Structure 1
Amino acid sequence: MKHRGRHRRRKRGRALRAFLTGTALALTGAATMISVSQATVDENPGPLTATADASGRLTEDLLPSRTLDRLTREMGRPVGIGALLAGPDHSLRPAAACTTAERAALPAAPATTRTHCWDPADTGGRHPGAVTTSADADDDGAWGTHRVVLAGWSTATAGSGADDGTAAGNTKEAAARSARPVLARVSFVDADPSHHPAYTSALLVVPVNGGRDYRPLASDLSGMVWYEDKLLVTSDHAVYVYDMHRILRTTVSAPSAGRVPGGWSAYGMRYVLPAVGAYRLAPGAPGPGALSLDRSTAPDSLVLTQRTAGDGEDGGTLLRRYAFSTDPDRNGLLATGATGQADPVETLRTEATDVRGVLSHRSGWYVSRAGEGGPGSLWRQDTEGARVTECGTDRASHCWSASTASLSYGERTGEVWTQSGRMLFALPLSEIDRALD
Structure 2
Amino acid sequence: MKHRGRHRRRRRGQALRATLAGTALALTAAATLISTSQATGSGTPGGLTPLTSAAATGKLRLHENLVPRDTLDTLTKDMGGNVGVDGVLRTADHAMRDKADCTADERAALPVEPTATRAYCWERGDAQTRQWQPRSVTTSGDADDDGRWGEHRVILAGWSHNDHQAAAPTRDEGLARVAFVDATDPQALKYRWVLLVAPRADGKDFTAVRSGLGGMVWYQDKLIVTAAHGAGLLVFDMHRILKTDVNSGAVGRVSGGYSADGYQFVLPAIGSYDVTGGACGTGTGTGAGARTGTNAAVPCFGSLSLDRTTAPDSLVATERATSAGAERARVWRYSYSTAAYRTGLLADSQGYVDAVEAYETKTAGLTGVLSHTPSGTREAEWYAGHAPDSRTQRGTLWRQTERGAKAATCTADQSHACWGLGAESLSYWQETGELWTLTGAGAERTLYAVPLSAVDGSLD
Q: TM-score, normalised by structure 2?
A: 0.80
Alignment of 1:349 with 2:389, yes or no, is: no
Does the CA-based 8 Å contact 1:4-1:229 persist in structure 2? no
Alignment of 1:139 with 2:145, yes or no, is: yes
Does the CA-based 8 Å contact 2:3-2:149 persist in structure 1? no
Distance 2:246 2:191 in 1: 20
Distance 2:2 2:238 in 1: 13
- Count of matched residue pairs: 401
The C-alpha deviation readout for 1:155-197, integer Å capped at 9, x for no partner, is 15xxx773xxxxxxxxxx49x9899721101111111135611
Distance 1:270-1:104 versus aligned 2 partners, 3 A rule: same
What's the % identity of the aligned pairs?
Answer: 48
**In structure 2, which of residues 236, 240, 261 is the aligned counterpart of residue 242 of structure 1?**
236
Q: What secondary structure does 1:202 align onto? A: strand
Distance 2:126 2:419 in 1: 26
Q: Which amino acid aligns with 1:371?
A: P
Q: What secondary structure does 2:149 align onto? A: coil
Q: Which amino acid aligns with 1:351?
A: K
Any residues of structure 2 matched to 1:382-397 within 5 Å, and which? 382-397=401-416
CA-atom RMSD in angstroms: 3.0
Does the CA-based 8 Å contact 1:230-1:331 persist in structure 2? yes
Q: Which amino acid aligns with 1:116?
A: Y
Q: Which amino acid aligns with 1:47?
A: G
The unaligned stretches of length 5 or more in structure 2 are 18-26, 30-38, 280-297, 374-379
Distance 1:69 1:29 in 2: 50
Distance 2:453 2:336 in 1: 30
Aligned to 1:68: 72
**In structure 1, which of residues 106, 118, 122 is the aligned counterpart of residue 122 of structure 2?**
118
Aligned to 1:168: none
Q: Which amino acid aligns with 2:98?
A: P
Aligned to 2:89: 85
Q: What secondary structure does 2:332 align onto? A: strand
**In structure 2, which of residues 313, 317, 323 is the aligned counterpart of residue 300 of structure 1?**
313
The C-alpha deviation readout for 1:262-282, integer Å capped at 9, x for no partner, is 211111111000011011113
**In structure 2, which of residues 422, 439, 443 is the aligned counterpart of residue 403 of structure 1?**
422
Does the CA-based 8 Å contact 2:42-2:416 persist in structure 1? no
**In structure 1, which of residues 195, 204, 212 is the aligned counterpart of residue 196 of structure 2?**
204
Distance 1:233 1:291 in 2: 8
Aligned to 2:438: 419
Q: Which amino acid aligns with 1:333?
A: L
Q: Which amino acid aligns with 2:177?
A: R
Distance 1:426 1:48 in 2: 26
Moved more, 321-330 or 206-215: 206-215
Distance 1:40 1:87 in 2: 43
Q: Which amino acid aligns with 1:224?
A: M
Does the CA-based 8 Å contact 2:96-2:191 persist in structure 1? yes
Alignment of 1:46 with 2:7, yes or no, is: no
Moved more, 230-239 or 60-69: 230-239
Does the CA-based 8 Å contact 1:214-1:258 persist in structure 2? yes
Q: Which amino acid aligns with 1:360?
A: S
Aligned to 2:335: 323
Aligned to 1:165: none
Q: TM-score, normalised by structure 1?
A: 0.84
Distance 2:41 2:138 in 1: 32
The C-alpha deviation readout for 1:1-22, integer Å capped at 9, x for no partner, is 56555225x97xx99xx9xxxx
**Displaced runs of 4 or more, over 4 A:** 1-5, 39-42, 176-180
Moved more, 126-135 or 257-266: 257-266
Alignment of 1:226 with 2:245, yes or no, is: no
